[in-house]
Structure 1
Amino acid sequence: MLRVLVLVSGGGTNLQAVMDAVKAGNITNAEIIGVISNNKNAYALERAQKAGVASACISPKDYESREAFNTEFLKTVDDMQPDLIVLAGFLVVIPEAMIQKYRNRMINIHPSLIPSFCGKGYYGLKVHEAALARGVKVVGATVHFVDEGTDTGPIILQKAVEVQNGDTPEVLQRRVMEQAEWKILPKAIDLIANGKIQVIDGKTVIEA
């Protein structure tokens, strides 16, 4: 049984999608063992509580230095003994020691088709604002492994979503969540839980 730890900063809609998929049997051989947020007001913590999932809040603001936070953060994660870490809208820079320790065992969901509209500064609504400003006709979401770069790790799954006339960033954000993020994040976890994904030469290979 794959032990899944979810890290989230906000409302936790992707967390909910994952919990729902586990409950519905769309994610097999996996259990959510914990939720960590850097924001004590994150609704995601309430979602975890309602689902009976262990949760913790650990914020850089509560530490005198980033090094002190990183040490405590990594300890909190290690104590939960996860097999897979899922970044579901987590707006904290992951310590390098943690990336190395959980190499190819930490995944992120990004609301664009990487390599478009990704990297430093592209998160949340900013991604959709940039896509609309550029006038692209297709957007989407990507699940990828986390490495030392920003949105540069091996890509696991992607799903395209069409832009429609009159879209606002908020409307587009919602459609990308519903049509892409909430589908491919649970699917990626299920593939990993069932041993269907390998990383070879920096690229993922998915078993048929």
Structure 2
Amino acid sequence: MNNIVLFASGSGTNAENIALFFKDHPDTEVSYILSNRPDAGVLERAKKLNIKTKVFNRDDFFSTCRIHDFLISASPDLIVLAGFLWLVPSNIVEAFPRRIVNIHPALLPNYGGKGMYGHHVHEAVLRNGEKESGITIHYVNDRYDDGDIIFQAHCPIEADDSPESLASRIHQLEYEHYPRVIAEVLAQQKQNRD
């Protein structure tokens, strides 16, 4: 059984989409959703999906081994960041090499790095007159948006795009591709083990 642990900071639409995708997969389950915000909408979504949750603070994540040790005991095959904005500490990255993935709402290596998330990304893409944007799914290392790229999907920039209209199209790419790519990464892991 493949075990996924999700991290999310916000409303949790991507996390919910991933959980629903795997709901009927007999060999994969989302065992936990972790959030650094006790008021995050993702926690309510997790409750409706009957997925266990854990809320943690900055100290738990960066100054102690609480989350590291929790993850070791949860033994995930894959840790999936779905709208999680904190940099993953190196002790967690080292404990789960090439087993942590993230999705970024732009075509990395452009428009990545600290502070480049959500509307900040879309505003920068439009301000610079780009012709296209998209999503990047990548492995996580100890630097923002810097790990090896697994998959990218592109979408054109329309002449009348606003950050909101671009974000809407980017979200559609995320919903379409992220669960499928996660399944492919898990299948590749299994192939490497066998």
The two structures have a TM-score, normalised by structure 2, of 0.91
The aligned amino acid for 1:193 is: L
Select which of 49, 62, 67 maps to 2:63: 67
CA distance in 2, matches of 1:14, 1:134: 27
CA distance in 2, matches of 1:152, 1:19: 26
CA distance in 2, matches of 1:105, 1:65: 18
The aligned amino acid for 1:29 is: D
Q: Please, what is the CA RMSD of the aligned residues?
A: 2.1
Gaps of 5+ in 2: none
Select which of 18, 37, 40 maps to 2:38: 40
| 8 Å contact from structure 1 (residues 29, 194) kept in 2 | no
CA distance in 2, matches of 1:174, 1:144: 21
* Aligned pairs for 1:19-34 within 5 A: 19-23=19-23, 29-34=27-32
User: Number of paired residues?
Assistant: 192
Select which of 130, 144, 149 maps to 2:143: 149
The aligned amino acid for 2:140 is: V
How far is 1:77 from its partner?
A: 2.2
Select which of 87, 93, 100 maps to 1:99: 93
The 3 A distance-change label for structure 1 pair 65 and 116 is closer
Gaps of 5+ in 1: 200-208
Question: Does residue 158 of structure 1 match 2:152?
Answer: yes
CA distance in 1, matches of 2:90, 2:30: 24
How far is 1:93 from its partner?
A: 1.9
The 3 A distance-change label for structure 1 pair 107 and 138 is same
CA distance in 1, matches of 2:190, 2:129: 34
* Structure 1 equivalent of residue 53 of structure 2: 55
| 8 Å contact from structure 1 (residues 5, 33) kept in 2 | yes
State, as a whole percentage, how many aligned pairs show the same letter: 33
How far is 1:170 from its partner?
A: 1.6
The 3 A distance-change label for structure 1 pair 99 and 112 is same
Which structure has the highest helix share of the two? 2
CA distance in 2, matches of 1:196, 1:108: 17
CA distance in 1, matches of 2:22, 2:142: 29
The two structures have a TM-score, normalised by structure 1, of 0.86
* Aligned pairs for 1:121-160 within 5 A: 121-160=115-154
How far is 1:196 from its partner?
A: 6.5
Query: SS in structure 2 opposite 1:130?
Result: helix
CA distance in 2, matches of 1:64, 1:52: 24
CA distance in 2, matches of 1:76, 1:32: 15
